[in-house]
Amino acid sequence: MQKRKLGKSNLEVSAIGLGCMGMSFGYGPPADKKEMISLIRSAVEQGVTFFDTAEVYGPFTNEELVGEALAPLRDQVVIATKFGFKPDPNGGTRWSALDSRPEHVKEVAEASLKRLKTNVIDLFYQHRVDADVPIEDTAGAVRDLIQQGKVRHFGLSEAGVKTIRRAHKVQPVTALQSEYSLWFREPEAEVIPALEELGIGFFPFSPLGKGFLTGKISADTEFDKTDFRNIVPRFTPENRKSNQAVVDLIGKFAQQKKATPAQVALAWLLAQKPWIVPIPGTTKPHRLEENVGAAAVELTREDLQQLDAATSKIAVQGARYPEELQKLVGR
């Protein structure tokens, strides 16, 4: 698989990465650990070099899974993880409070290094912007970790442009991770131009619309009771019914390209900028192979114009987060 450079940094990764969250958290019960270790190692064999996790996924179990799976292949891969939430003092899975105080950032780094079975974190993201801690203080803590050789690169997740600029002055930001796809294009207005100006790479998460753009979810699909999509307004049955128009359009386009809808959605992202690397997640080997195959799907300028023109006429229904989570993004 071809590689991509993230902005002005020297970080180079495969054109398609692998988001590992759903293996342990968010989309129903955790998948079988042995099967997921096999899936992650299979991804490396297929050319994937970028793997994304976070302490909150599980919590902790996803980092442990990724660490175990990649330990024998560590010199071939780039591992990203995240800090910024405060764990439930009762040991549960709720992570409602934010905590990006410098001392906490450094504690998380030490714990993540152990769980990931490594001596350096390649990319360390602030998971959500903490309004109670100046971003300069947080960026300074990551700068310290970089100077100590414990972290290689600093990233932000779901941050707004003002925060990105402020952080970048203290410690250059290598990459931003935020949602971006054919059915969520908000970053195009302000975020992507700012990233281009500053030389910062972009890892879109949910590039397949949390599974919806694959065409395998309908208004009648029932999610497991622990599935995050149950509380996402965009995934109410009525909104799924309305939003099917986007999927149908991508499906027709995919037939013309002799590709799958998922491959077209990923190829569209790859075509936006040379420093964009989507990180679709999956627990299924055949989906992994399909997603990796998207890197070989070429969309012409005419293809992109047609896709843009057609999708711009469809108003996507429903917010991408429930209200309390929406408050944490874009600040």
Listed as own residue / partner, the contacts of 251-260 with beta carbons closer than 8 Å and 24 or more positions apart are 251/215, 253/303, 253/306, 253/307, 253/310, 257/297, 257/299, 257/303, 259/293, 259/294, 259/297, 260/214, 260/215, 260/290
Helices and strands counted in the chain (H then E) = 11, 9
Helix, strand, or coil (residue 118)? coil
In one-letter notation, the amino acid at residue 16 is I
From CA 147, how far away is CA 164, in angstroms rounded? 21
Q: In 10 A of CB 89, how many CB atoms?
A: 8
Q: Is 57 a known active-site residue?
A: yes
From CA 233, how far away is CA 236, in angstroms rounded? 6
- Which residues, 6 or more positions from 219, have their beta carbon under 8 angstroms from its beta carbon? 237, 238, 240, 241, 244
From CA 21, how far away is CA 25, in angstroms rounded? 6
H or E, element range at 3? strand 3-5
12: left (phi over 0), alpha (psi -120 to 50) or beta: beta
- The active-site residue out of 27, 57, 125, 180 is 57
- Which residues, 6 or more positions from 149, have their beta carbon under 8 angstroms from its beta carbon? 119, 120
Beta bridge partners of 156: 126, 176
From CA 22, how far away is CA 18, in angstroms rounded? 10
Which residues have a catalytic role annotated? 57
